[in-house]
Structure formats: structure tokens, C-alpha cells
């Protein structure tokens, strides 16, 4: 978020801070470079001056006419014009030719001829050529003094110098050039810094670093705190982000022991031992194909239900686009298991209420029949009719209540029996049915309710047996509760058994994948959650056999 009018550097936007920092760095680099160039230019000017005066001094000292003039009665008459001509040609400040005692033969100021040389001559008298910076009659200068030999004897000395003022003038000319280069480099650096800062400002939308840090900290806290799973995928289907809730909902955490699980168990995903999913293809996570297709779908998906190994997931996807370019998908996952269980219980209650309604309707019909028989003067037939109907209903109720100790399951069986009867299907509960001491009645409601519903539909689809029939049997066998639901329908194709407990498998032709194909998936999920297994066989019709350990893992 942009805050106009910021003046505190600590609250400047990241782009502005970067611009100032880059400008300071560029400025320091240019200043350091200019300083180094200045020192180098000064040293180069001194070296050039030293080389010039040394070369001129040695050239004069080696000239034959100088030795000849020194030996003449009036050396100044011959040497002064020569020295001035060389001085003008070479651009040096002065050329002084003197006797070994330091008496000048030449000088740029003729009035100083005959005077004593101002400077050091000791090293030259010892036969050395030396250079020094000394303040003489013309001011501070860089000078070279060298001896003049004639027959192996020092007959004169030559001093050639360039004043510091001349050297400084030459250095100033170089500095103007250096200043121009430094200014150009600074301008280019500032322009580049401004372009980088402008791009960064567009990318960060003018947010200050402190705000970016706070946003990142809040972002991290929210990702780990929300109970809703969040999965970000790039356009190639690779995981960009997966929060803790998504890892848990998709079973992507470290592998857990699976003792007691049946080999027929169908898993949603193989747990990954690595905690880092970033950069992995979603197709490599071991997720079901229909879920992978939803996650990478280029079209948005809303509230799609996918049955996992132990959960029912509601999946929403939203494609992300930037400048009309696909960037990937944002996927949210919600755990629908509890809601699905409550929905199943509600469906059971509704079915029970519906069965009570139908029974009330039948009871009213029977009551009218009894009253009519009494009015016709046949009380014995009226009593016999009423007693027979009562015994039939009571026999079913007594059998269910006596063999099923869990009230919710008893109500489910009574309701499904009445509902099946209303649809013209005989729902038979075998005499040896016993359901007692079983934990998790909600999952048993899911298993029995969906199996009975499917069996009733299958029985109605079978035309060979009249009336259609569904048989429910429950028993204990070797430490497990065995539930068996069979029907008189056409049966199940054995080739379809491996896929029938996954979401979307159905034999119905109406309703689409959302309306059908969920019941058996929920059955498989509940069975796996309790460490059991499901077997699909064939008798007169399909036979579903569920084994649930009485002591589930």
C-alpha cells in the first residue's frame, strides 16, 4: 500500500531506499575513482616532469659546445643564448649552467648571471645525476642537476627545472577531463539506479521494507494457522507452496505405520518421506488421477467432492493469470468428512421419518379396514386382521432391537426396511444377525446405509426375481464384525471391482458424477479408516461383505 508524503528514511518505500543506496554507492565509487585518478594524474605529472628535466639536463651535459664554452674566457656569452633556445624548445622553466663552485653562467633572468646557484649540488659534484623539488629564485620547482665532464674531470654543472606552477596547470587540465568522465559515469549510474528503482517500485507497488517484512511474517503465520489446505501450483504443474493443512489433508506427510491394513486397501497417496514438496510435479505425488486433473485444470473448479483414503475433501481451484498469461492454480482444500457423516446421519433420520410416515399411512388404512369389519358385524375377522399385521411389524422390530444394541443402527435398519417395502423390495434381516459392542456407529451407518441403498436399487434393476429382495446379515467372526448385504439384482462385473470404491464410479445414468458415485467411495473410506476390507462377490446378485476389526487400529 502506498503512503504519500513519507519523509522518514526508515519508512521510505523499498524502491526509494534502493535508489538512495545505489546513488550513494555510485557516488562513493565515482568519488573514489576520481580521487585515485587525481593522485595518479599528479604522480604521472611529476614523473613526466622528472623525465623531461633529466633528459634535457643530460643532453646539455653531453653537448660538445657546452664543454668548449665552459673552457672559454667568457662562458656566459656562448652558453646563455644556447640555454635559452633549448629552454624555449623544451618548455622547461629554467636551464642553469654553472661552474663546479655554483657560479651561474646562464639563467632565464640575465641579471642573475654570475650569482650563486640556489639549491643542492653535492651529489652532482660526486658524479651523480639527481632530481629534487626545491624552492629557488623562480619558486618551487622540480629540478635535475647533472655534472659536465671534460677529460674525466667535472668542469661544470647543469640544472634543468620545471616549476610546480606549470606542473599544477597541466594537472588542472587533466582534472577537467577527469571531472567530465566522473560526471558522465555518475549520470549513467544514477540513470541506471533510477530505472532499477522504478521497476522495483512497480513490482513491490511502493511498499516499504518494514511493511514487506510484516506482510511476509503475517503470510507465514496465516499459512500455518489456517485449517483450510492451500496449494499453489505453477503453470507446469509444480508445487510452489503447500501449507501444513494441505499436507495433512492430502496425506503427504512422513509415512506412518499401516499395521492391520488390508492389502485391498486403496490409498489416496503414498506418503512422501521428504518434507520439502516445493518444485515437485503434482503428478508425482501419488494422488488419484481425477484429483490431479482437478488440481491442474485450466478452468476454475468449485466445491468438487473427492473421497480420500480417510477423508472427504471439497476442492476449489482458481487459475492465476498475469497480463493474460497463465501463471498456475490456487487450490483450496476443506475437510468435508464430519459434514458428510452428519449428512449421512441426517439422511438416516429422514429415512426413518419417512418410514414412520408411510407406516402411519398404512396404519390408517388398516384401522379403516378393522373399523369397516366391525361395522359389517365381523368382529372376529377384524381382530384376526389387526393381530396378524401387528405380529408381523412387531416381529421385525423385536428382531432388530434384540440383535442390534446400538439405537442409531436399529433405527437405520427399521427405516431402511420400511423404505424398501414402500419401494416394493423385501428387506430381510437374517435370524443370526448380531451387532453389539461396536464402536463408531456413525461409520457403520455410512457403511450399512449406502450398501442397503445400492442393494435396493440393484434389486429393483433385476427383472428375474419377484418380488425384489435384499438380505442383510451381521455376525462376529474371529475378532471381526462381518456385515453382508446381498441383493437379487444383476450383480457386478468383476472387472469393475477395483474401481468401484473410488469417487465417480456408478451404474446409474442420471445425476452426473456429483449426484452418484459417492456412496461406495464413502463405504470404502469408512472401512479403511477402521482397518477393514470389502469383498465383492456374486450369488443370485451382488454380495458385499465387509470385515471390520472389533479392536480397530
Higher pLDDT, 537 or 336: 537
- Looking at residue 550, its pLDDT comes to 77
Percent of the chain's residues with pLDDT above 70: 71
Cα separation of 533 and 441, whole Å? 17
Lowest mean pLDDT among 33-42, 301-310, 464-473: 33-42
> Would you put residue 410 in left (φ > 0), alpha (ψ -120 to 50) or beta?
alpha
Q: Angle formed by the axes of helices 441-461 and 519-529, to 10°?
A: 140
What phi and psi values does residue 486 have, to the nearest 5 degrees? Answer: -125, 160
Mean pLDDT (whole number) for 215-241: 79
- Looking at residue 475, its pLDDT comes to 84
- Looking at residue 362, its pLDDT comes to 65
Distances (CA, A) of 451 to 8, 174, 472, 542, 545: 70, 98, 10, 11, 10
pLDDT tens digit string along 304-346?
Answer: 877 766 677 888 998 888 777 788 888 888 877 666 656 666 6
pLDDT tens digit string along 428-464?
Answer: 888 778 777 665 677 788 888 888 888 888 888 875 6
- The CATH H-level (homologous superfamily) assignment of domain 1-218 is PAS domain (3.30.450.20)
Are 95 and 56 in contact, with CB atoms under 8 Å apart? yes
Q: How confident is the model at residue 177 (pLDDT cuts 50, 70, 90)?
A: confident
Are 448 and 404 in contact, with CB atoms under 8 Å apart? no
Angle at alpha carbon of residue 521, lines to 518 and 526, rounded to 5°: 125
Are 250 and 331 in contact, with CB atoms under 8 Å apart? no
Task: Tell me which residue has cell 427383472.
Answer: 463
User: HSE on the CB side for 316, CA within 13 Å?
Assistant: 10
pLDDT tens digit string along 96-148?
Answer: 899 988 888 898 888 888 888 888 888 888 888 898 887 776 777 788 899 99
User: Do 1-218 and 339-549 come out as alike in CATH topology?
Assistant: no
Q: Grid coordinates standing for 268? A: 489416496
* Other Cβ atoms closer than 10 A to 545: 16
Angle at alpha carbon of residue 43, lines to 40 and 47, rounded to 5°: 135
Q: Identify the H or E element spanning 77.
A: helix 75-90
- Looking at residue 548, its pLDDT comes to 85
pLDDT of 366 higher than 60: yes
Q: How confident is the model at residue 5 (pLDDT cuts 50, 70, 90)?
A: very low
Are 56 and 158 in contact, with CB atoms under 8 Å apart? no
Cα separation of 157 and 146, whole Å? 6
Q: Which of 347, 348, 336 is nearest to 525 (CA)?
A: 336
- Looking at residue 35, its pLDDT comes to 76
Mean pLDDT (whole number) for 206-226: 68
What phi and psi values does residue 349 have, to the nearest 5 degrees? Answer: -60, -40
Cα separation of 116 and 103, whole Å? 5
Mean pLDDT (whole number) for 199-213: 64
- Looking at residue 246, its pLDDT comes to 83
Paired sense of beta strands 469-476 and 426-429, if any: parallel
Percent of the chain's residues with pLDDT above 90: 1
Lowest mean pLDDT among 44-58, 75-89, 268-282: 268-282
pLDDT of 255 higher than 60: no
What phi and psi values does residue 311 have, to the nearest 5 degrees? Answer: -140, 160
Q: Angle formed by the axes of helices 379-403 and 407-422, to 10°?
A: 130
Cis peptide before 79 (omega within 30 of 0): no
Mean pLDDT (whole number) for 288-307: 83
* Other Cβ atoms closer than 10 A to 114: 11
- Looking at residue 4, its pLDDT comes to 43
Lowest mean pLDDT among 89-103, 201-215, 359-373, 409-423: 201-215
Q: Average pLDDT, whole number, for the chain?
A: 75
pLDDT tens digit string along 485-514?
Answer: 988 888 887 777 766 776 555 555 444 333
Mean pLDDT (whole number) for 390-414: 69
- Looking at residue 147, its pLDDT comes to 92
* CATH topology (fold) of 226-335: Beta-Lactamase (3.30.450)
CATH architecture of the region 339-549? 2-Layer Sandwich (3.30)
Q: Which of 455, 482, 460 is nearest to 470 (CA)?
A: 455
| Strands annotated E in 164-254 | 229-234, 239-242
pLDDT of 417 higher than 50: yes
Lowest mean pLDDT among 141-145, 175-179, 409-413: 175-179
Domains of the chain by residue range? 1-218, 226-335, 339-549
pLDDT of 478 higher than 50: yes
Amino acid at each position: 500500500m502506498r503512503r504519500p508524503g513519507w519523509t522518514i528514511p526508515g519508512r521510505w518505500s523499498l524502491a526509494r531506499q534502493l535508489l538512495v543506496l545505489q546513488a550513494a554507492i555510485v557516488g562513493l565509487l565515482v568519488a573514489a575513482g576520481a580521487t585515485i585518478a587525481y593522485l595518479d594524474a599528479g604522480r604521472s605529472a611529476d614523473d613526466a616532469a622528472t623525465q623531461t628535466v633529466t633528459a634535457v639536463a643530460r643532453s646539455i651535459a653531453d653537448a660538445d659546445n657546452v664543454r668548449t664554452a665552459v673552457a672559454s674566457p667568457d662562458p656566459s656569452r656562448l652558453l646563455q643564448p644556447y640555454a635559452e633556445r633549448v629552454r624555449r624548445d623544451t618548455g622547461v622553466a629554467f636551464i642553469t649552467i654553472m661552474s663546479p663552485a655554483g657560479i651561474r653562467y646562464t639563467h632565464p633572468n640575465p641579471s642573475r648571471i654570475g650569482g650563486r646557484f640556489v639549491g643542492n649540488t653535492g651529489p652532482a659534484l660526486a658524479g651523480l645525476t639527481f632530481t629534487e623539488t626545491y624552492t629557488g629564485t623562480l619558486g618551487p620547482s622540480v629540478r635535475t642537476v647533472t655534472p659536465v665532464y671534460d677529460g674525466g674531470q667535472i668542469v661544470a654543472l647543469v640544472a634543468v627545472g620545471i616549476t610546480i606552477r606549470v606542473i599544477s596547470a597541466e594537472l588542472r587540465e587533466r582534472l577537467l577531463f577527469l571531472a567530465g568522465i566522473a560526471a558522465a559515469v555518475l549520470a549513467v549510474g544514477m540513470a541506471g539506479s533510477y530505472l532499477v528503482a522504478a521497476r522495483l517500485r512497480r513490482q513491490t507497488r511502493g511498499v516499504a521494507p518494514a511493511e514487506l517484512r510484516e506482510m511476509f511474517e503475517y503470510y507465514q503465520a496465516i499459512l500455518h494457522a489456517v485449517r483450510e489446505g492451500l496449494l499453489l501450483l505453477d503453470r507446469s504443474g509444480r508445487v510452489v507452496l503447500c501449507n501444513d493443512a494441505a499436507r495433512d489433508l492430502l496425506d503427504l506427510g512422513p509415512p506412518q505405520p499401516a499395521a492391520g491394513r488390508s492389502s485391498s486397501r486403496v490409498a489416496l497417496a503414498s506418503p512422501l518421506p521428504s518434507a520439502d514438496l516445493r518444485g515437485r510435479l503434482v503428478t508425482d505425488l501419488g494422488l488419484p488421477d481425477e484429483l490431479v486433473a482437478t488440481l491442474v485444470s485450466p478452468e476454475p473448479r468449485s466445491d468438487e467432492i473427492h473421497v480420500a483414503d480417510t477423508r472427504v475433501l471439497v476442492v476449489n481451484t482458481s487459475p492465476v493469470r498475469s497480463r493474460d498469461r497463465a501463471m498456475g492454480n490456487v487450490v483450496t482444500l476443506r475437510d468435508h468428512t464430519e459434514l458428510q457423516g452428519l449428512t449421512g446421519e441426517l439422511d438416516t433420520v429422514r429415512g426413518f421419518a419417512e418410514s414412520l410416515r408411510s407406516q402411519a399411512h398404512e396404519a390408517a388404512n388398516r384401522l379403516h379396514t378393522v373399523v369397516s369389519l366391525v361395522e359389517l358385524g365381523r368382529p372376529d375377522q377384524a381382530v384376526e386382521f389387526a393381530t396378524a399385521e401387528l405380529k408381523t411389524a412387531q416381529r421385525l422390530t423385536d428382531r432388530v432391537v434384540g440383535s442390534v444394541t446400538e439405537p442409531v443402527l436399529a433405527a437405520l435398519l427399521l427405516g431402511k426396511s420400511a423404505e424398501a417395502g414402500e419401494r416394493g423390495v423385501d428387506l430381510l434381516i437374517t435370524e443370526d444377525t448380531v451387532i453389539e459392542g461396536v464402536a463408531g456407529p456413525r461409520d457403520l451407518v455410512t457403511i450399512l446405509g449406502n450398501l442397503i441403498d445400492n442393494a435396493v436399487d440393484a434389486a429393483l434393476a433385476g427383472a428375474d426375481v419377484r418380488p425384489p429382495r435384499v438380505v442383510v446379515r451381521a455376525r462376529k467372526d474371529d475378532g471381526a464384525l462381518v456385515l453382508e448385504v446381498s441383493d437379487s439384482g444383476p450383480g457386478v462385473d468383476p472387472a469393475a471391482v477395483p474401481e468401484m470404491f473410488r469417487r465417480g464410479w456408478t451404474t446409474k445414468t442420471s445425476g452426473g458424477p456429483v449426484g452418484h458415485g459417492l456412496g461406495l467411495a464413502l463405504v470404502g473410506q469408512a472401512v479403511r479408516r477402521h482397518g477393514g476390507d470389502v469383498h465383492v462377490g456374486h450369488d443370485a446378485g451382488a454380495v458385499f461383505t465387509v470385515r471390520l476389526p472389533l479392536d480397530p487400529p
